[in-house]
């Protein structure tokens, strides 16, 4: 794999740390700023809304900016947002800082996924994209637990200062390792917007919104569940978060080759397994060893959905994949915000700390139903899918050759 993928992974590590660390710090932030845990959950939603709005907006504004420069600008904005969060004087300003930090998230991963796909040969693009996302998952093994521990001992502001430093390191890695990749001559905002109108792209985005909301309905409140439902002490929160991150990493590692081999079956299987794990979770949470196993499984099956969904929308957007790829992260973070909101409503209604898992199971089933509907609609004469990253939608089917317009995605930079 090219070293440029390492720079993308380091950037993803920083983004993953700041996105997910708030789940571990919710009780600390709530105590420090004098608010409740469900209200502090709005900080999760603020970041997610920033991603939802920033992905299409910044991708559109940067449609003619060279890829490497665009990645550097987005990482600079990410760094400023985290610095603003660290210096926020009250809850309102912290919400604004989280929103600002979320703005470049989707656009970065959208551009980064296209860059990753161009760095490797045909048939390995899903693995390349999964490698970039590996930084996101490793953040949940190392970055999030370490940042949570730091926040518990030195205050949550110290956490965001460290994340801002990671942002600076990521910018240095991008500047050093990512080759110059010019904007494709055929790319423009109108072409990208037309690609979003594709029915399969819209169904893929809708699948992400519902399916992934099931993960965040639980993960947003996992630190509180650890102490209030599982019976662990506060010092165990970092261990539980690291176990979730371990599951994420295992899921991401499995998703790359599985997606290259059979895209839709990987998507169906991961969503179905996610619904089962979420439904079983409340019945195992009071047995500590079983609860820990379920946390690992939840991270694994939840994040196995990311690579097939990313490659699906890039494929269906044909030769204008950047905005669709970025919008996929808008969909994931709309799921983030919606899952956190619905999970918080279940807790606030007095249904118990494990009730978000049952809410999540329903959401995962809805995502599976949408994905299955999209698959059925995509069948028929003349509808054999051409996957931009070389991933097959059915295992043994021969891989279609890319059309001329795909060169922007599949060719390696010279």
Lowest mean pLDDT among 84-93, 253-262, 353-362, 375-384: 375-384
User: For the chain, what is the largest distance between any 2 Cα atoms, rounded to a whole number of angstroms?
Assistant: 62
Of 343, 305, 342, 312, the closest CA to residue 327 belongs to 312
- Residue 413 in this model has a pLDDT that exceeds 60: no
More confident residue, 27 or 304: 304
DSSP 106-153: HHHHHHHHHHHHHTS-TT-HHHHHHHHHHHHHHIIIIIHHHHHHHHHH
- Contact indicator for 221, 351 with CB cutoff of 8 Å: no
Band of residue 100 on the pLDDT scale cut at 50, 70, 90: very high
Alpha-carbon torsion (402, 408, 409, 413), positive or negative: positive
What is the pLDDT, as a whole number, of residue 191?
A: 66
Residues 385-414, mean pLDDT to the nearest whole number? 40
Residues 257-264, mean pLDDT to the nearest whole number? 86
d(Cα 307, Cα 322) in Å, to the nearest integer?
Answer: 15
- Contact indicator for 83, 160 with CB cutoff of 8 Å: yes
d(Cα 282, Cα 312) in Å, to the nearest integer?
Answer: 32
- Residue 255 in this model has a pLDDT that exceeds 90: no
What is the pLDDT, as a whole number, of residue 33?
A: 83
d(Cα 140, Cα 134) in Å, to the nearest integer?
Answer: 10
Alpha-carbon torsion (329, 40, 226, 24), positive or negative: positive
- Contact indicator for 133, 307 with CB cutoff of 8 Å: yes
Burial of 71 from C-beta contacts in 10 A (0-12 / 13-18 / 19+): buried
- Residue 397 in this model has a pLDDT that exceeds 80: no
Q: Is the pTM of this model over 0.75?
A: no
d(Cα 21, Cα 44) in Å, to the nearest integer?
Answer: 9
Residues 383-412, mean pLDDT to the nearest whole number? 41
Band of residue 216 on the pLDDT scale cut at 50, 70, 90: confident
What is the pLDDT, as a whole number, of residue 1?
A: 62
DSSP 234-272: GGGHHHHHHHHHHHHHHHHHHHHHHHHH-HHHHHHHHHH
Rounded to the nearest 10 degrees, what angle do helices 91-102 and 4-33 cross at? Answer: 170
- Residue 390 in this model has a pLDDT that exceeds 60: no
Q: What does the mean pLDDT of the chain come to?
A: 82
- Residue 312 in this model has a pLDDT that exceeds 60: yes
d(Cα 55, Cα 300) in Å, to the nearest integer?
Answer: 25
Torsion-angle region of residue 352: left (phi > 0), alpha (psi -120 to 50) or beta?
A: left
- Residue 101 in this model has a pLDDT that exceeds 90: yes
**Residue 339 in tokens:** 């899952």
pLDDT digits (tens, 9 = 90+) for 220-240: 888 788 888 888 887 788 788
pLDDT digits (tens, 9 = 90+) for 15-64: 989 887 887 788 888 888 877 777 787 887 788 888 888 888 898 888 78
- Residue 13 in this model has a pLDDT that exceeds 60: yes
Terminal C-alpha separation, the chain:
16
Lowest mean pLDDT among 45-59, 81-95, 190-204: 190-204
- Contact indicator for 259, 126 with CB cutoff of 8 Å: yes
Residues in the chain, total: 414
What is the pLDDT, as a whole number, of residue 196?
A: 67
What is the pLDDT, as a whole number, of residue 409?
A: 41
Band of residue 192 on the pLDDT scale cut at 50, 70, 90: low
Of 100, 258, 77, 42, the closest CA to residue 171 belongs to 77
Residues 351-355, mean pLDDT to the nearest whole number? 89
- Residue 400 in this model has a pLDDT that exceeds 70: no
């Amino acid at each position: 794999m090219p070293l440029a993928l390492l720079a993308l992974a380091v950037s993803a590590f920083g983004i993953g740390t700041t996105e997910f660390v708030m789940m571990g710090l919710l009780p600390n932030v709530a105590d420090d700023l004098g608010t409740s845990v469900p209200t502090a959950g709005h900080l999760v939603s603020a970041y997610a809304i920033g991603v939802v709005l920033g992905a299409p907006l910044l991708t559109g504004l940067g449609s003619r900016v060279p890829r490497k420069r665009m990645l550097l600008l987005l990482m600079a904005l990410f760094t400023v947002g985290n610095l603003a969060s660290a210096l926020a004087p009250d809850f309102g300003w912290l919400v604004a800082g989280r929103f600002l930090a979320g703005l470049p998230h989707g656009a970065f991963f959208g551009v980064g996924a296209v860059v990753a796909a161009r760095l490797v040969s045909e048939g390995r693009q899903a693995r390349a994209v999964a490698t970039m996302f590996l930084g996101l998952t490793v953040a949940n093994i190392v970055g999030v637990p370490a940042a949570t521990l730091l926040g518990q001992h030195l205050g949550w502001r110290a956490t965001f200062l460290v994340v801002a430093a990671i942002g600076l390191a990521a910018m240095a890695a991008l500047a050093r390792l990512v080759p110059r990749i010019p904007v494709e001559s055929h790319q423009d905002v109108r072409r990208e917007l037309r690609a979003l109108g594709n029915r399969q792209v819209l169904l893929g985005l809708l699948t992400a919104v519902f399916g992934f909301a099931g993960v965040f309905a639980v993960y947003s409140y996992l630190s509180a569940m650890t102490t209030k439902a599982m019976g662990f002490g506060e010092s165990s929160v970092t261990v539980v978060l690291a176990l979730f991150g371990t599951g994420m990493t295992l899921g991401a590692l499995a998703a790359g080759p599985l997606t290259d081999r059979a895209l839709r079956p990987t998507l169906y299987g991961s969503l179905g397994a996610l619904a089962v794990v979420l439904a079983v979770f409340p019945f195992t949470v009071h047995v500590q060893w079983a609860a820990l196993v379920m946390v690992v499984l939840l991270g694994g099956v939840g994040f196995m959905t990311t690579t097939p969904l990313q490659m699906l929308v890039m494929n269906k957007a044909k030769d204008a994949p950047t905005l669709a790829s970025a919008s996929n992260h808008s969909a994931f973070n709309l799921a983030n915000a919606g899952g956190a909101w619905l999970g918080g409503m279940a807790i606030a209604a007095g249904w118990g700390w494990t009730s978000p898992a049952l809410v999540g199971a329903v959401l995962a089933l809805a995502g599976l139903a949408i994905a299955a509907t999209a698959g059925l609609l995509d069948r028929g004469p003349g509808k054999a899918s051409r996957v931009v990253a070389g991933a097959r939608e059915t295992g043994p089917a021969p891989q279609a050759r890319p059309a001329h317009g795909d060169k922007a995605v599949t060719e390696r930079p010279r």
